[in-house]
Structure 1
Amino acid sequence: MTPITPLFLAIVVFFTTAAEGLTPDGQSLLAFKASIEDPATHLRDWNESDATPCRWTGITCDSQNRVSSLTLSNMSLSGSIAPGTLSRLSALANLSLDVNDLGGALPAELLGALPLLRYLNISHCNFSGDFPANLSSASPSLAILDAYNNNFTGALPIGLSALPLLAHVHLGGSLFSGSIPREYGSIKSLRYLALSGNDLSGEIPAEMGDLESLEQLYLGYYNHFSGGIPRSFGRLKSLRRLDLASAGINGSIPIELGGLRRLDTLFLQLNSLAGSIPDAIGGLRALQSLDLSCNQLTGGIPASLEKLQELKLLNLFRNNLSGEIPSFVGDMPNLEVLFLWGNGFVGAIPEFLGGNGQLWMLDLSKNALNGSVPSSLCRGGKLATLILQQNRLSGSIPEGLGSCASLEKVRLGDNLLSGAIPRGLFALPNLDMVELMRNKLDGVMGDEEFAAPKLEKIDLSENLLRGEISEGIGALSMLKELQISYNRLAGAVPAGLGRMQWLLQLNLTHNFFSGGIPPEIGSCRSLTMLDLSVNQLSGEIPRSLEALEVLGVLNLSRNAFSGGIPRGIALLQSLNSVDFSYNRLSGAIPATDQAFNRSSYVGNLGLCGAPLGPCPKNPNSRGYGGHGRGRSDPELLAWLVGALFSAALLVLVVGVCCFFRKYRRYLCRLGFLRPRSRGAGAWKLTAFQKLGGFSVAHILECLSNEDNIIGRGGSGIVYKGVMPSGEIVAVKKLSGFNPAAAAGVARGKIGGSMSHSDHGFSAEVQTLGKIRHRNIVKLLGFCSNKETNVLVYEYMPNGSLGEALHGSSKGAVMLDWATRYKIALQAANGLCYLHHDCSPLIVHRDVKSNNILLDAEFQARVADFGLAKLFQDSGKSESMSSIAGSYGYIAPEYAYTLKVNEKSDIYSFGVVLLELVSGRRPIEPEFGDGVDIVQWVRKKIQTKDGVLEVLDSRIREENLPLQEIMLVLRVALLCTSDLPVDRPTMRDVVQMLGDARPGKNKEESSTDFGDLSSSQSQLLSPV
């Protein structure tokens, strides 16, 4: 409990003296205001000159002018509530302090000295420490207690069971540990109980089945209970919602749950439940949402589920279910979401599925289904997601899909479908992905209309498509990947492709295209892969390809190209794979720093030069085909002029700097320059967590000794500080900032206008000050004056993951595989919290191994939020003014388009996973120039020996669980997919890593990577 300081007592005495005419309630409220901070001045009308506080903001009084309600929700209040300040509000019935930055210990009187309190809401605050345990003096009228999303630790308060009218308890989203008190089963009045998102363990008490009034129960998410679902839950006859998702439970689903006739939501996903789906589930006549996904369930879909006529969502994916999908599933009148992928279902898809006009999302992929695709799927015009890939479906694709304007994703690859692509499919207004690869489609492409404004990916490879591709394909302005390889297409490569500014991959190999390469392709500046091999193309290779500065793969082999290889293509530093073989090229192979081997050039009788051997001597030539090694005279002259100009400019800049340094004082006197500020001003300490009795002076003392430096980075220097209590903290000193903006941040003003030179200080403080999660580093507080900003963190004795993996031979920590896996999963949990549990969601923008810190037990914490960005909508991209992040971790689309969303973090995390598996940095000399760890691993996994070479040699001597490591490697490759749409979400990553945990029986694993796009499947297949 925070001690009452002499200064605070003086403030209370002052307000009491100044407000002698004010009621005791008003005096108490003024004392409360004095103990906290109100940076937005919401409480400016709390005036000691008033007779009563009844007209003040947030105050409601009863007929006796006593304060009955104090509602200060979402007012940006900060600081810690001093004990005793609200204890005199004896008539208070409603207290709402939610969505503020109030922190420190929760004053005991809020639950012990307010005799009439009925409603207490402290959710979305920063309260920490143990929750008040002695509730014997709490208000017997207390009905609602909402403490969601705080930082409480220790055990759950047993004393809640003594409150006779308690109806609503939300203690989720904190760090409570231990087991659920059995006494909670005696709170007969309880209607709502949420304990999710903590660190609870042990068995779920059977006594909770005695909560006869309970309507909603939430126990999952980050908790890890042992044992199964208590059979006593079958007695919860009033229950409407039961959420035990990701709670660590095992065993079977109790048949007793079938007696919960009022239940509308049953969430049991992400557990280890086994056995069959009990027939008793059919007794849940009011059920609207049933999610049993990601378990180990076996058997079929019971016939009793036909009785669930109210069902809107049915998720059974990632289990071991089998048999046919019952026809009644297609007749459910309200079904909106059906996810059954990753099982062993056989037979046909229900004929009338979608006929109810409500179907929104359908995923039946990775089963063994046959028959045709039902024509009724989009009857109601609501279907957005259609995923049926990796089955044995045959027949044609329903024509009606071409007019289904709601469609966003169509993934029908790896089936036996034939016929034409539905007319109008590529013009749908909301479509962003079409995957029809590896089927038997044999339609004509020439008549296709290309007008979909959001389409990012088309994969039609390995079909029998005929005809030409129209120039209109260039209208797909957002397209990032176009795969039409292994078909029978002919005619010219459309010049309209040059209008696709964001195109990353273009693959037209193994077709019958003729004519030349349209020069317009050089306008596709984002291209990383261009494969036109095995066609009938001819003419010279256009020099416009030299403008593709980020091109990594170029394959023009097995065509009829003539002339020379443009020298500028050879100079592209991004290239890591080229193939010009089997054409009619001639002349000297341009000199390059890349070590391309002979196979890249064979089959061209006119080519010469390394690695094909020396060219014939010809003193009259500077090269072959007009693109030789020598520089032309105009080029040389331009180079010399540029060099001279650069040298002159450098001399000018140095001279100006010297002049201003020497005569700065004189120029200031004349008024041409502003004198430098001499006064830094007083220091101020703002705490976000409970501090261990140290002050600004103690923090600044550790900055005076350079021996305390433990790290340096682009945003500042990090010191180790030992406080008087013995507590060790990390102190980060940032340089160069805007004083006025820093003052705004110090007052807690969100969105303060920090200058660019603040090195992310505003973003880091505003972000970290609100975040509380076991896998995110704690920001204890910050100090500031007019010139300097200092952040105070919890100290991580084992430094960063980057140091542990890549430090010197003496300093590097030996991390065994089990520790590396644990770090990966914990860091993923931290990022998952940022992406899915924060509102608004937070994109870190600088995920890297050096920003994952390790405590004394090698528990991982995500750190350094200086570049963090807040997003209101998941999946939406935001344009940045410049690239921010660390080289080797930056997602391709971010580098090319300056657009960022949460998928950018996922790419960076995939790089971290590759570091953990390989022990290598993102950029290593052994990879070659312009090659990063992602490209290097992709190349290595093409062979079995190469896969083993990827593994860190320091862990090869262990008794390695290779299957687990390969699963983590697969997750890493998924995360680093070139297209954002191909990357999983962080929730998916956490689930997949959880299934790869060391020692888990892989026959029981729910991770089967069944929902992969074609490019992902091809990428992972060699592993």
Structure 2
Amino acid sequence: MAPSGLHLLFFLSFLFISSSSSSSSYSVSPQDSYLQSQASTLLSLKSSFDPTSISALDSWNESNYSSVCTWTGIQCDVVSRSVVSLNISNLNISGIISPVILDLRALVNLSISGNNFFGMLPSEIHRLASLSFLNLSNNQFNGSLNWEFRLLKELQVLDAYNNNFMGPLPLGVTQLAKLWRLDLGGNFFSGTIPPSYGSMKELKYLSVAGNDLGGFLPSELGNLTNLNQLYLGYYNAYKGGIPPEFGKLINLQHLDMASCGLEGPIPSELGNLTRLDTLFLMLNQLSGSIPPQLGNMSSLRSLDLSSNGLTGEIPAELSGLRHLTLLHLFINKLYGEVPHFIAELPNLEVLMLWKNNFTGAIPSKLGRSGKLTKLDLSSNKLTGRVPDSLCFGRKLAVLILLNNFLFGPLPSDLGNCTTLVRVRLGQNYLSGPIPHGFLNLPELSLMELQNNYLTGGFAQEPSRVAPKLGQLNLSNNRLSGSLPRSIGNFSGLQILLLGGNHFTGEIPAEVGQLKNVWKLDISRNNFTSEIPPEIANCVLLTYLDLSQNQLFGPIPVQVSQIHLLNYFNVSWNLLNRSLPKEIGAMKSLTSADFSHNNFSGYIPQNGQYEFFNATSFVGNPWLCVSYSIPCNYSSSSSSSSSFPFSDQHDTKPQVPGRFKLIFALGLLACSLVFAVVAIIKTRSIRRNSKSWKLTAFQKLGFGSDDILECLKDNNIIGRGGAGIVFRGTMPNGEQVAVKRLLGISKGSSHNDNGFSAEIQTLGRIRHRNIVRLIAFCSNKDTKLLVYEYMPNGSLGEVLHGKRGGYLKWDTRLKIAMEAAKGLCYLHHDCSPLIVHRDVKSNNILLNSDFEAHVADFGLAKFLQDTGTSECMSAIAGSYGYIAPEYAYTLRVDEKSDVYSFGVVLLELITGRRPVGDFGEEGVDIVQWAKVKTNWSKEGVVKILDERLSNVPLNEAMQMFFIAMLCVQEQSVERPTMREVVQMIVQAKQPITFNVL
């Protein structure tokens, strides 16, 4: 071969080799291709999430797909590089779960709990055949769980807790041979527990609590002998009692069957559960005695049998529960003495036996173990003395012994119990002095010693301060001496009740240092001084009672500076001179009593003085009603009915008839102008429809133009502080309610992304007792909320209208339960938690079946954020529903919602509006109900709605009891909405309560 030919051959060979090498260097390996495919699947899944909620997934980026195994929440198999674990729990992500997730075929662990996912899960989830761990808890998934479980052969854990799943419990899970944890609690499953659930022999954890299940508990569950934890209660309403077969669950450590309607006796077979750590059977209708066999549960730490109908004595066999830390037996019908062995339980921390019929003395060694933290033996018939060992271990935080027959002095050691937070010892026969230091404990927030026979002085130490003390009640004792000037050191006091004692001397000026006090009662004592002007420094006062003392001099004009004062009583004193006219300008003052003093001159005829009762001035011989009555008029010699208080109204000028006509014509002209402006504005809104942005929270069959068509005056179905509500019918026949928000100006916080994010939160909420937000429609000037339509309107409209008579007792009880469940969800289970801020009967809407739905939740907060004044009713609540603490904190919280709900309960019981139905200015339904019933549950018959018939008295009494708990003046005394729901569940249970 010629040299040139050889060279050519080498050159071609070189080109071929180079080309092959270059080609291979740019090819994609199968492993890289697989990683890229998985990355693409994950990015597609991410795209189905709400873009505003995925900052935690920033590492999920197409630019680094090769490192997909290091992305947040991702784990891969070391050999195959397949994604085997997807854990994005508790990242606050919202949106839906796209079916593309089914392409991650190698998944073994899928955990998406603690987020805000909604909608339905992909029905073909069985394609993830390798799954062994599936956690869906704490989201808002709905639909049923009728999956092909038999194909998920490797599944060991299924956690679907706290979603919106409904329908019957899934039967397919019984085919999962490896399943050891099944949590279906906190959903809306209905029907019965299938007996076949008793065949899942590998189960160690089973929960179906918090659903709508019924029927009888299947005895077959007793076959699950590997179970460690079993949860069956809360919201479920079973028939019958506890199956004795549950005694075969010998490995059980935690058994919770609270609040689920169980009846009958507690089976003695439960005593076989020797490994049981916790037994919760509270809030049922169990009867009979406590089985002695429960004493065999040698591992038991927590025993709660409260709120049932148990009778008999506490069995001596319970002395074998040496590990017991918590014992709750309150609200039963137990009797006999509190056994001495209880004081000898070495680990007991919490003992609650209140509202039973226990007699005899409190065990003298109680607390000697040094571990007691909470003790409540109130509302029994206990006698004897308070043991001196209760705070032996310096851990006691709660001491409640009120409403018993205890006598003798209080143990001096209580003055050194620095851990005490709440003390309630009222309604006993205690005597002797208040222990040294008892009122100055550093953690103390509540001290009640009222209605005893305590003697001695105020017992306050100037050198020590109780900075957290919010309520001090020493009323109706025999305390004497003067009030120390150091009383001003109680800077945190909100309620100070000293009435009905023998205090003497002057009211110290230092009382003005109580900047947070809103209720002050020092009536029925022997104070001899002038009213200190410094009392006006208590700017948060709403209630001031100085009556029945020996106070002299004038009423300080500075009192008029207490702008929140609602009740003012200075009767039966020696006060003199004229009544300050400035008090008439106190618009908040609705009740005042100046009777039986030595006031002189004329009663001012301005402001609030015109509205005070005539009896407020009797017993002042030199006090004149008007300038037309001589000043020697003696009101003490006249009855209140002949008191000429109406004379002051006779001098009002008469309005000329011509002026009335002009005024009426002016009103008509203004109305026409407003109507024209409204029409022009509505047309302008429709012309600008292209600028509207529509955010849907479910699949819609209509658009923004259809929503705007609803904004017609003849479609208005409601008005309120939050906005105007229109009714509309969409092209697909769906009826909706459209709320146009008012009081929203350009530049307000409603126009930023924060408001949109809040609305997104409301749109994701799904609960059967909450009105569903369907869509949000907005432009730069107007914001519209589209809700599901409720044909029967609001509870307030029905109850206080012509149809109120059709709301029978059972319907009212059902509405109360459903509304309570809706609020309970907002307070406890929603994410984020929501305080309603404007709970009232007009914000509880009724569907065609009169099922209650809570409306306008969360709106009050959003309206408050704008700072607008037009919506004050939504910000602060509505008149008649506002909790007392709003007056001195100007804030509302979940306990303010509870107060408002208590008012709604009173509306349901009485059929009366919150205000205006009681014949006296300033009296609301809460005050009226307390006075009318004398705080007695038995007095409920005096306030029942006359339109009701055949009302079960036990139910009415218990509903009244719940209402009274909700409207307690002190917010800490009110129950949570979760507790309210539990108590309403028990409304059919004939248990005797006393409102305290």
Q: TM-score range by the shorter chain?
A: 0.7 to 0.9
Whether 1:285 aligns to 2:277 is no
String of CA shifts for 1:251-280, please: whole Å, max 9, x gaps: 111111101111000000000000000011
Do residues 86 (structure 1) and 101 (structure 2) align?
yes
Q: Is the Cα–Cα contact under 8 Å of residues 300 and 323 in structure 2 kept in the other structure?
A: yes
1:159 — aligned with what?
172
Work out which of the residue numbers 70, 81, 92 in structure 2 matches 1:65. Answer: 81
Matched, 1:368 2:377: no
Query: What is the distance in 2 between the residues matched to 1:345 and 1:249?
Result: 25
Partner Cα separation in structure 2 for residue 31 and residue 453 of structure 1? 57
Q: Is the 1:764–1:868 contact (alpha carbons within 8 Å) kept by the matching residues of 2?
A: no
Q: Deviations over 1:362-416 (max 9, x none)?
A: 0000111111111111122111110001111112111111121111111111111
2:111 counterpart residue number: 96
Q: 2:792 aligns with which of 791, 798, 805?
A: 798
The residue identity in structure 2 corresponding to 1:528 is T
1:460 is aligned to 2:474: yes
Is the Cα contact below 8 Å between 1:680 and 1:786 reproduced in 2? no
Tell me the SS of whatever aligns to 1:828: helix
Residues 540 and 887 of structure 2 are in contact (CA less than 8 Å); yes or no, is this contact kept in structure 1? no
- Identify which of 224, 232, 238 aligns with 1:211: 224
The alpha carbon displacement at 1:613 in A equals 5.8
Task: Check whether the contact 2:711–2:726 (CA below 8 A) recurs between aligned residues.
Answer: no
DSSP-derived class of the 2:853 partner: strand
Is the partner of 2:287 in helix, strand or coil?
Answer: strand
TM normalised by structure 2 equals: 0.85
What is the distance in 2 between the residues matched to 1:574 and 1:171?
A: 52
What SS does the corresponding residue of 2:102 show, helix, strand or coil? coil
After TM superposition, the structure 1 = structure 2 runs for residues 916-935 of structure 1, keeping only pairs within 5 Å, are 916-924=908-916, 927-935=919-927
Amino acid at match of 1:975: C
Residue 260 of structure 2 corresponds to which residue in structure 1? Answer: 247
Equivalent AA in structure 1 for residue 37 of structure 2: P
Equivalent residues of 1:464, 1:488 under 8 A apart = yes
The answer as to whether partners of 2:437 and 2:461 remain within 8 angstroms in 1 is yes
- Distance, in Å, in 2 between the alignment partners of 1:99 and 1:742 is 28
TM-score for both structures, normalised by structure 1: 0.82
Cα offset for 1:42? 3.4
State how far apart, in whole Å, the 1-side matches of 2:493 and 2:114 are: 41
**Alignment partner of 1:892: what SS?**
coil
Aligned twin of 1:298 = 311
| Partner residue, 2:391 | 378
Deviates more, 1:888-897 or 1:736-745: 736-745
Contact 1:698/1:723 (8 A) holds in 2: no
Rg (Cα) greater in structure: 2
Letter in 1 for 2:882: I
Which structure features the higher share of helix residues? 2
The Cα of 1:282 is off from its aligned counterpart by 0.3
CA distance in 1, matches of 2:108, 2:845: 45
Q: Does 1:193 align with 2:185?
A: no
1:881 Cα deviation (Å)? 15
| Residue type at the aligned position of 1:989 | V
Deviation of the 1:288 alpha carbon? 0.4
Aligned position for 1:308: 321
1:884 matched residue in structure 2: 876
In the aligned structure 2, how far is the partner of 1:740 from the partner of 1:551? 34
Please state whether the residue corresponding to 1:248 is helix, strand or coil.
Answer: coil
Aligned AA for 2:959?
Answer: V
Q: Distance in 2 between matches of 1:457 and 1:272?
A: 35
1:532 counterpart (546, 552, 561): 546
Answer yes or no: is 1:601 the counterpart of 2:617: yes
* Residues 175/702 of structure 1: CA separation in 2 closer, same or farther (3 Å cut): farther
After superposition, the Cα gap between the structure-2 partners of 1:578 and 1:719, relative to the gap in structure 1 and judged at 3 Å, is closer
**Once the 2 structures are TM-superposed, how far is the Cα of residue 569 of structure 1 from its aligned partner?**
2.6
- The correspondence of residues 785-864 of structure 1 with structure 2, limited to 5 A, is 788-807=782-801, 809=802, 814-838=806-830, 841-864=833-856
Per the TM alignment, residue 787 of structure 1 is displaced from its structure 2 partner at its CA by: 5.1
Find 1:550's aligned residue among 517, 540, 564: 564
Question: What are the equivalent positions in structure 2 for 1:894-909 lying under 5 Å apart?
Answer: 894-909=886-901
Check if 1:989 corresponds to 2:975: no
Distance in 1 (alpha carbons) for counterparts of 2:861 and 2:798: 28
How far did 1:216 drift? 0.5
**CA distance in 2 between partners of 1:355 and 1:107 (Å):** 59
- Which residue is equivalent to 2:143? 129
Give how far 1:183 is off.
Answer: 1.2
Q: Matches of 1:853 and 1:825 in 2, distance apart? A: 13
d(CA) in 2 for partners of 1:898 and 1:960? Answer: 39
1:927 is displaced (CA, Å) by 4.5
Q: CA–CA distance in 1 between the matches of 2:448 and 2:306?
A: 25
Q: Distance in 1 between matches of 2:994 and 2:822?
A: 22
State the alpha-carbon separation in 1 of the partners of residues 494 and 199 from structure 2.
Answer: 59
User: Does the 8 Å CA contact 1:534/1:557 hold for their aligned counterparts?
Assistant: yes
SS at match of 1:152: strand
Residues 115-148 of structure 1: CA distance to partner in whole angstroms, max 9, x if unpaired? 21111111111211111343222x2111111111
The one-letter code sitting in structure 2 at the alignment partner of 1:683 is K
Contact 2:940-2:956 within 8 A present in 1 as well: no
- Equivalent positions of 1:314-393 (< 5 A) are 314-393=327-406
Q: What is the CA distance between 1:833 and its match in structure 2?
A: 3.1
- How far is the alpha carbon of 1:536 from its aligned partner? 1.9
Output aligned runs, 1:399-798, within 5 Å. 399-445=412-458, 448-449=461-462, 451-591=465-605, 592-609=608-625, 614-615=630-631, 681=691, 683-687=693-697, 691=699, 694-697=701-704, 700=707, 702-703=709-710, 706-723=713-730, 725-734=732-741, 736=744, 752=754, 754=755, 763-766=758-761, 768-784=762-778, 788-798=782-792
Offset of 1:521 from its aligned partner?
1.1
Provide, for residues 885-931 of structure 1, a one-character-per-residue CA deviation record: whole Å limited to 9, x for no partner. 22322222213321332221122112222322333333327644444
The residue type equivalent to 2:558 in the other structure is: S
Q: Cα distance, 1:34 vs. partner?
A: 3.3
Aligned length: 900
Q: Is the partner of 1:899 in helix, strand or coil?
A: coil
Separation in 1, partners of 2:627, 2:121 = 74
Task: State the superposition RMSD in angstroms.
Answer: 3.2
Q: What code does the residue aligned with 1:425 have?
A: F
Relative contact order, CA 8 A, sep 6+: which one is greater? 1
Q: Hey, what's the Cα distance between the residues in 2 that align with 1:407 and 1:584?
A: 46
CA-CA distance at 1:467 after TM superposition: 1.1
Q: Contact 2:702/2:732 (CA < 8 Å) preserved in 1? A: no
The 8 Å contact of residues 927 and 936 in structure 1, kept in 2 or not, is answered as no
- Give, in angstroms, the shift of residue 738 of structure 1: 7.0
Query: Would the alpha carbon gap of residues 839 and 423 (structure 1) be closer, same or farther in structure 2, given more than 3 Å must change?
Result: farther
Indicate the percent of aligned positions where both proteins have the same amino acid. Answer: 50
Deviation at 1:594, TM superposition (A): 4.2
Displacement after TM superposition at 1:603 (Å): 2.7
Q: Which whole-Å CA distance do the structure 2 matches of 1:860 and 1:21 have between them?
A: 52
Is 2:510–2:534's contact at 8 Å kept on the other side of the alignment?
yes
After superposition, the Cα gap between the structure-2 partners of 1:382 and 1:738, relative to the gap in structure 1 and judged at 3 Å, is: farther
The letter for the 1-side match of 2:128 is L
Instruction: Indicate conservation of the 8 Å contact 2:541/2:564, yes or no.
Output: yes
Any conservation in 2 of the 1:680–1:787 contact (CA below 8 Å)? Answer: no
1:684·1:784 contact (CA, 8 Å) conserved in 2?
Answer: yes
The separation in 2 between residues aligned to 1:699 and 1:76, in whole angstroms, is 33
Residue deviations 1:937-963, cap 9 Å, x none? 4454469999877544544xx344456
Q: Aligned partners of 1:740 and 1:92: how far apart in 2?
A: 47
Specify the alignment match of 2:195 in structure 1: 182
Q: Which whole-Å CA distance do the structure 1 matches of 2:749 and 2:611 have between them?
A: 52
Report what 2:8 is aligned to. none
- Supply the distance in 2 between the matched residues of 1:248 and 1:511 (Cα, whole angstroms): 51
What's the offset of the Cα at 1:561? 1.5
Q: CA deviation at 1:233?
A: 0.7
| Partner Cα distance (1:614, 1:246) in 2 | 69
Q: Can you give the 5+ residue segments of structure 1 that lack an aligned partner in the other structure?
A: 1-18, 618-627, 630-660, 662-676, 746-751, 755-760, 871-879, 1013-1023
- Distance in 1 (CA, whole Å) between partners of 2:954 and 2:628 is 42
* 1:197 aligned counterpart, secondary structure: coil
Which residue identity lines up with residue 577 of structure 2 in the other structure? Answer: G
CA 169–782 in structure 1, closer or farther in 2 if over 3 Å, else same: farther
Q: Which moved further from structure 2: 846-855 or 67-76? A: 67-76
Counterpart of 1:637 in structure 2 is: none
Q: For the structure 1 residues 792 and 867, does the alpha-carbon distance in structure 2 shift closer, same or farther, using more than 3 Å as the test? A: closer
